[in-house]
């Protein structure tokens, strides 16, 4: 099962992705092979994860046709002032001729740098090196500002979403403006597994709590990006396309909202001191 969603630039991408943040470095190739066997075709990495090279190599060695893969990487805010170099770095680490999706990883705190980076991404898109341009962790205000300035809508806003932190206003705004939401930390770094409400709901469908919550994301229209380094769990996370949540169960999942979340504040997070390749 690999349904695709249509983006606002006319391209498509798979409706579920495989999160590559903190994959075990020593078993990365086997984990990616397991993810491909399970059915994942969208692989979500970033320069910040420091594994673009290993992810690209594992995908190439897999023998899966390039055209059926969807590879996303992201530019960290400390590279915005030299964005072209940052994008070229991603391309060379991944060892790909083009990247399916490339995103500003965070908005950063310097709008001028953000604009420069977005401009560089649009230029690389013109040159065929990036297919779809997107953003991550952008607020409504930051999206409005970027769109007003460039007249180009990001295809995707990748943001932290899970039942505890549903970001409903932002997700609704993205939907109204044709921007696809992708949800990071979709199982709240494993918290979904220990939540009794989710375990009970999952069991009613012969599924686990993690599967219940991932199904909730898909039914909300989001692209969830579960990460697992375990072949059994990553398969379990993909096996969510043969059941539908009742409205009562979807409401019970939504009632977990309490504002708890992991991410930084997009208005103040500057990306720290990370620089790729250094
Ligand atoms: N754009 C951004 O700023 C941003 C930020 C963070 C993450 N992301 C993206 O989102 C992806 C996912 O986020 P995440 O890794 O933070 O959180 P996550 O996918 O919600 O949670 C991953 C954790 O949950 C465990 N887990 C996953 N499936 C499980 C299952 N079925 N049963 C039990 N435990 C399970 C994993 O353990 P095991 O590995 O041991 O199974 C791992 O410890 C990342 O890999 C990355 O691609 C993007």
For 72-95, what is each residue's pLDDT tens digit? Answer: 999 999 999 999 999 999 999 999
Q: What is the mean pLDDT of residues 30-51?
A: 98
Nearest to 101 by CA among 36, 182, 209, 176: 182
The Å distance, Cα 242 to ligand 1 centre, comes to: 22
Catalytic residues: 49
Superfamily for the 11-254 domain: NADP-dependent oxidoreductase domain (3.20.20.100)
Question: Which single residue is written with the structure tokens 């013109």?
Answer: 126
| Alpha carbon distance 180, 189 (integer Å) | 22
Quick one: pLDDT band at residue 2, thresholds 50, 70, 90?
Answer: confident
The answer, yes or no, to whether any atom of ligand 1 lies below 6 A from the CB of 225, is: yes
- pLDDT value at 1 more than 70: no
| Alpha carbon distance 138, 69 (integer Å) | 26
The answer, yes or no, to whether any atom of ligand 1 lies below 6 A from the CB of 137, is: yes
Q: How many helices (H) and strands (E) does the chain have?
A: 11, 10
Angle of helix 209-220 versus helix 247-254 axis, rounded to 10: 100
* pLDDT tens for each residue of 132-185: 999 999 999 999 999 999 999 999 999 999 999 999 999 999 999 999 999 999
14, 161, 185, best to mutate for ligand 1 pocket (most atoms within 8 Å of CB): 185
Question: What rounded mean pLDDT belongs to the chain?
Answer: 97
The answer, yes or no, to whether any atom of ligand 1 lies below 6 A from the CB of 221, is: no
State the sign of the Cα–Cα–Cα–Cα dihedral 127, 133, 138, 142.
positive
Indicate the DSSP class of residue 179: P
Q: Whose CA is nearest to atom 38 of ligand 1?
A: 228
| Alpha carbon distance 143, 23 (integer Å) | 30
Do the Cβ atoms of 220 and 250 come closer than 8 Å?
Answer: no
- pLDDT value at 278 more than 70: no
Do the Cβ atoms of 177 and 148 come closer than 8 Å?
Answer: no
The Å distance, Cα 231 to ligand 1 centre, comes to: 14
190, 208, 210, best to mutate for ligand 1 pocket (most atoms within 8 Å of CB): 190
| Alpha carbon distance 125, 121 (integer Å) | 6
Query: Does the pTM of the predicted model rise above 0.85?
Result: yes
């Amino acid at each position: 099962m690999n349904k695709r969603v249509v983006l606002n630039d006319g391209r498509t991408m798979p409706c579920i992705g495989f999160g590559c943040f903190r994959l075990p470095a020593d078993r990365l190739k086997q984990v990616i092979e397991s993810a491909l066997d399970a059915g994942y075709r969208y692989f979500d990495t970033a320069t910040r994860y420091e594994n673009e090279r290993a992810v690209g190599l594992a995908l190439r060695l897999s023998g899966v046709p390039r055209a059926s893969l969807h590879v996303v990487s992201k530019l960290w805010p400390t590279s915005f002032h030299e964005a072209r170099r940052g994008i070229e770095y991603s391309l060379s680490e991944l060892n790909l001729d083009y990247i399916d999706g490339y995103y500003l990883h965070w908005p950063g705190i310097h709008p001028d740098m953000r604009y420069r980076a977005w401009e560089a991404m649009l230029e690389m898109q013109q040159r065929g090196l990036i297919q779809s341009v997107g953003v991550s962790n952008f607020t409504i205000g930051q999206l409005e500002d970027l769109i007003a300035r460039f007249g180009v809508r990001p295809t995707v806003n990748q943001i932290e979403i899970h039942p505890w932190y549903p970001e409903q206003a932002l997700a609704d705004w993205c939907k109204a403006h044709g921007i696809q939401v992708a949800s990071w930390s979709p199982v709240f770094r494993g918290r979904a597994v220990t939540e009794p409400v989710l375990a009970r709901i999952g069991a009613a469908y012969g599924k686990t709590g993690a599967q219940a919550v991932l199904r909730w994301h898909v039914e909300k229209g989001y692209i969830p990006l579960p990460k697992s380094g375990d072949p059994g769990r990553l398969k379990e996370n993909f096996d969510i396309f043969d059941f539908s949540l009742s409205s009562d169960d979807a409401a019970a999942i939504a009632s977990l909202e309490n504002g708890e979340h992991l991410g930084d504040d997009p208005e103040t997070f500057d990306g720290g001191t990370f620089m790729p390749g250094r």
